[in-house]
Amino acid sequence: MSDHAAAHEAPTSTGIDHKKLIMWLFLASDCMFFGTLISTHLLYRKLFPAGFTDAEGHQRFIQDLFSIELTSFSTFILLMSSFLMALAVSAMHKGQLKSFRRNVLGVIIFGLIFLGCQVFEFTHFYHKGLTIQNSVLGSTFYVLTGTHGTHVAIGVLWLILLYFYSFTGKLGGHMGALDVEVAGLYWHFVDIVWIIIFTAVYLVEYLGPYGIWGSGLPAVVK
């Protein structure tokens, strides 16, 4: 979404490009967005540490579902995509369009792998009995990670469009580098949100026999 004032490169009062400033403001706003989602999940984990009841009426724990291998793998993939994105931005700054394309293609592929992992995870959890409808855990988990996944998907779409746009020859110079950098900021933000989710939603569930929230479990359930 390029724009006249920025495109015209009128000097700004602060020396910061409009697009970069607006993206950072958006990210500040998005902090509140994901803060709300993550805290909704955490407070329901705090209130209902026991997990959910599946279709057969069995008490299930979230630890029964999580696969640390899968989550670690997708976390690693997302972190490395962030690295490639940083390289893609760097390439654009240097005016190396080919290097940009190579790196951004890597980001796109890694992003798609991450999304694939999430689709796999969702189907896996669904077959083990966790649905959006049978518990608050299902609602908060699917909506939180699903919203993050939507952010990833939008990022992938954006990068794919940038990738193809780079072949038109119109992506270049200061404005081109800025367009890529702004897309990169978005992508990195999606990555750092996952860094938080990985710890706050996944890892803490492995602490102690019933996860960090398990201390609140009624004795009967334990």
Partner 1 sequence: MSHDSHHAPVACKTELAPERSDLGLYRPDRATGWTDWLTTVDHKKIGIMYGAFAMMYFLIGGVEALAIRTQLARPDNDFVTARMYNQLFTMHGTTMIFLGVMPLSAAFFNFLVPLQVGARDVAFPRLNAFSLWTFVFGAFVLNASWLFEFGHLAGWFDSFAWHKALVYTDFAPANGWFSYAPLSGTFGANGQALRFTGVGTDFWIIGIQILGVASLAASFNFICTIINMRAKGMTMMRLPVFTWMTLVTSVLIILAFPAITVALIELMFDRAFGANFFNPSAGGQPVLWQHLFWIFGHPEVYILVLPAMGIVSEVLPTFTGKSLFGYPIIVFSGAVIGFLGFAVWSHHMFTTGLGPVPTAAFSLLTMAIAVPTGVKIFNWLGTIWGGRIRFTPPMVLALGFIWMFMCGGFSGVMHSSAPADSQQQDSYFVIAHFHYVLLGGVLLGLMAGLYFWFPKIFGRMPNAPVAYLGSALVILGFNLAFGPMHYLGLAGQPRRTHTYHAGNGWETWNFVATIGAYVLGIGVVIVFGNLVWTAFRGKKCGNDPWDGRTLEWSLPSPVPEYNFAQAPVVASRDAYFEHKHGAKKIGAENDGGEAGVHMPSQSWMPMLASAGFLFIGFGMPMMAMGIPHAGWLVITGLGVLFLGIWLWALEGPGGYMLKTPAPSGAPAPAETVAH
Partner 2 sequence: MSSSHEAAPSKAFLAEEVRRYHHFIVLALWLAVVTGAEIVLIYLPLPTAVIFTILTLMSAGKFFAVILWFMHLIYDKRLLFWCFLAGLVLAFATYAAVLCLFSVERIDTRWFS
Helix or strand holding residue 123 (H, E):
helix 97-127
- Residue 71: closest CA among 108, 38, 117: 117
Q: Which residue has the tokens 């897309």?
A: 183
Residue 60 beta carbon to partner 2: minimum distance, rounded to whole angstroms: 12
Binders of partner 1 among residues 18 to 47 (CB under 8 A) are 18, 21-22, 25-26, 28-30, 32-33, 35-37, 40, 43-44, 47
Name which of partner 2, partner 1, none residue 109 binds, using a CB cut-off of 5 to 8 Å depending on partner kind: none
Task: List 60's β-bridge partners, or say none.
Answer: 52
The correct pick among 70, 105, 132, 192 for binding partner 1 (CB under 8 A) is 132
139: CB partners within 8 A, 6+ apart: 132, 133
Dihedral angle sign, alpha carbons of residues 64, 61, 190, 120: positive
The correct pick among 79, 86, 143, 203 for binding partner 1 (CB under 8 A) is 143
Name which of partner 1, partner 2, none residue 176 binds, using a CB cut-off of 5 to 8 Å depending on partner kind: partner 2
Binders of partner 1 among residues 156 to 175 (CB under 8 A) are 161, 165, 170
Residue 2 in contact with partner 1, rule: CB under 8 A: yes
Contact call for residues 155 and 187 (beta carbons, < 8 A): yes
| CA separation for the pair 215, 45 (Å, rounded) | 11
User: Which residues sit at the interface with partner 1, rule CB under 8 A?
Assistant: 1-8, 10, 12-14, 16, 18, 21-22, 25-26, 28-30, 32-33, 35-37, 40, 43-44, 47-48, 131-136, 138-140, 142-143, 147, 161, 165, 170
